[in-house]
Each structure stands twice: as structure tokens, then as C-alpha cells.
Structure 1
Amino acid sequence: MELEYINSIKKQFEYYKSVGEKTFDQLEESDFFWQYNEQSNSIAITVNHLWGNMLSRWTDFLTSDGEKEWRNRDLEFESVIKSKEELLEKWNEGWQCLFNALESINANNFNTKVYIRNQEHSIIEAVNRQFAHYSYHIGQIVYIGRMIKGDDWKSLTIPKGKSKDFNQAKFLKGKHSGHFSDDLK
């Protein structure tokens, strides 16, 4: 059951990573730095925060507190990323750190207690905490992308007003193949 959970949550993290990347693919470089107002975060600021959080939480996940002394959380909310290339480097570095940590979890260490800000968590609690945090911020990234693109936005899932068409196509596909797939969340 432990490995089933890890495999399941990896798929969920991969899904949300892909949602962010499908948003990035629709944007121009300047769009990553757009802010609704001075108090709002741009996509670049949000990615910088995700990167800082991921490195802090997942580096030495099983052996050290998830809030590292070297983390500068306040700087994560400043406009420090200056290009799409830098944004993608940080995005990928953060995700790689997360996936490496998940790969280190096995049946022998699954019951290890981990700490975040000196608070004890089971592995499931710690992973779920981060999953909720990251999906929240990726939702913000998607929302900003949709605001920027307006009518040019390409739906990442089922387009508005197309649920019936989608469900009919999935039903017919499943009926002909003998099973129903779960291609889209």
C-alpha cells in the first residue's frame, strides 16, 4: 500500500506539473512577468516561490527539517527571475528535487517521521501538504495565464460548453475498445 500511494501521488504531481507547462506554452516571455497590481504575484514570482519551497522541503526529505536554514522565503516573492529561460530552469530544478525525494521513499523508510518547521509529519501528511500547496499555486498560474490570453486561451481540459461532446466521444471510444480510459482529469 505504501508504494501504491507513492506511485499515485507521483502521477498527481506529474499531472499538475504538466498543467503548469501547458500554460507556459501559451504565453509570450513578457507574460511571465505580468502582475495585476503591485501586491499581486506574477507567474515568475509564483514559480520562484515554488522553486524555493521545493528545494527546502525535498532536499534531504527524510533526514532534515523541510524548512532549511538557507531558505530565503521573503526573496521568493520578489521579481528575481529575469527571463523565461531562468524561470524554466528553476521550475525544472524544483520538480526534479521533488521527484528525486519521492524516489527515495520505499517500504523500509515509509514510516519515517519527517519535520516541517519543527512539526512532525508522517510521510503521507508531509507529501499531501506539499501536493495541496503546489496545486494551489499552479491554479494561480493557470488563472493568470487565462487572464492574459483572454479569448486566445486554449483550454487545458474540456473546453467550456463542450462537456457533452467530450463525454459522448469518451463513451464511444470506450465502447469500441471494451474499456473506458481516464485520459483527462
Structure 2
Amino acid sequence: MSEVAELYLSDVRARMRSVKVLGEGALSQLRAEEWHIPLVPEGNSAAVLVTHLAGNMHSRWGALRGGYAPGAEGETPGRDRDAEFVEGQEAPAELRARWEDGWAVFLDALDVLTPADLTRELTIRGEAHSVLAAVQRQVAHYSGHVYQLILLVRTLRGQEWQTLSIARGGSAAYNVAMTAEKDTAR
């Protein structure tokens, strides 16, 4: 079981770092005046998504940043979740710093988790979860918001969007390049 847990932790750490990179690829394409534009009324702007992600990451993972702590609560008493969804006036540099800080808390916590920690208990809003369940809950949550961010920026950029994946019509060339890379590595 320990081998599976170690494999899981290795995979989730790498995957979440990849999700962060995707989000950064989208954020890097925003113009300063676009950070606070939602696609629809009552929708989330990039600024709101970044603020919410960072707030959630601090609340859920701040107590585990130094390692598993018995009785850890994943909803800090001082958090004002509703305020995370109120459009502010933060500059792009402030929002990027908030993004980096939130991800640092989450990734630092992931990095110190051990296989044995995955079956231990923590609570989120008083509800008991295994650490594994809490990680999975946040993997889905954070990935969902990052993909919202990607859609938002892609829509705002229109024809100027720079893909974060294989470009349309580029699959065959990508596959050839991957095969050549594998052959060269052998």
C-alpha cells in the first residue's frame, strides 16, 4: 500500500504543478485592463478567481504546510469566503503575488505529506475527511477554477490567444516529434 500512496503523492504533486503552469499561461496573456472583466454579469473575473483560489489554498492547507497536524481544520476562522467573490481593484502585480503565495501554501503542504498521512483525518468546515479525500477534493476544485480561468482568458483574447496545448491541426506533427524524441533518448 505504501508504494501506491507514494506513487499517488508523486503524481498529484506533478499534476498540480502542471495545473498551476496552465493557469500562469492564461494569466500571462491578460492585459492589465482585463483582469477585472467577467464574461457575464455575476460571473467571475480573473482577479476574483485568483483571489478565491488563494483564499481557499491558505484556508485548506495553511495548517498542513509544516506537515500533518492532528485536528487540523481546513477552514480558518478568519477567512471571509464571500469577500473573495467581490470584485476589487488590485493591480495585476498584486494578483500575481496572491496567486504565487496561495500555490506556495498548497504545494508546500503537498510536498511534506507522507504516505501514512493520506489515511489520517482532518476536517473542512467541521466535516471529517481523510487527507487523501481532502487532496482529491482540492484537485478537482483547483483544476476546475483554472480551466474557468483558461476559458475566460481565451474568450477575451479571441484570435490573439496562444494555445497552452497542442494547436488545432497539430496533433500529427506533435506525435512525430514525441516519437523522434523517444527514439533519440534510446
- Measured against aligned partners, the alpha-carbon deviations of 1:42-76 in whole angstroms (never above 9, x if no partner) come to 00001111011111100113442112221101001
Bigger fraction of residues in helix: 2
Aligned to 2:62: 59
SS of structure 2 residue aligned to 1:33: coil
Aligned to 2:35: 32
TM-aligned CA deviation for residue 8 of structure 1 = 1.4
Taking structure 1 as reference, are residues 146 and 107 closer, same or farther at Cα in structure 2, changes over 3 Å only?
A: closer
Pick one of 122, 126, 148 that aligns with 2:130: 122
2:54·2:99 contact (CA, 8 Å) conserved in 1?
yes
CA root-mean-square deviation: 1.5
CA distance in 2 between partners of 1:172 and 1:124 (Å): 38
Aligned to 2:48: 45
2:119·2:132 contact (CA, 8 Å) conserved in 1?
no
TM-aligned CA deviation for residue 109 of structure 1 = 3.6
What amino acid does structure 1 have at the position aligned with 2:19?
Answer: Y
Aligned to 1:137: 145
Which segments of 5 or more consecutive residues in structure 1 lack a partner in the other structure?
Answer: 179-185
Q: What is the percent sequence identity of the aligned residues?
A: 31
SS of structure 1 residue aligned to 2:123: strand
Taking structure 1 as reference, are residues 104 and 174 closer, same or farther at Cα in structure 2, changes over 3 Å only?
A: closer
Aligned to 2:179: 171
CA distance in 2 between partners of 1:145 and 1:36 (Å): 9
Q: What's the TM-score, normalizing by structure 1?
A: 0.90
Aligned to 2:111: 103
Higher relative contact order (CA 8 A, sep 6+): 2
1:48·1:81 contact (CA, 8 Å) conserved in 2?
no
TM-aligned CA deviation for residue 163 of structure 1 = 0.9
Which segments of 5 or more consecutive residues in structure 2 lack a partner in the other structure?
Answer: none
1:81·1:87 contact (CA, 8 Å) conserved in 2?
no
TM-aligned CA deviation for residue 142 of structure 1 = 0.5
SS of structure 2 residue aligned to 1:68: coil
Q: What's the TM-score, normalizing by structure 2?
A: 0.89
SS of structure 2 residue aligned to 1:125: helix
What amino acid does structure 1 have at the position aligned with 2:21?
Answer: S
What amino acid does structure 1 have at the position aligned with 2:165?
Answer: T
TM-aligned CA deviation for residue 81 of structure 1 = 4.7
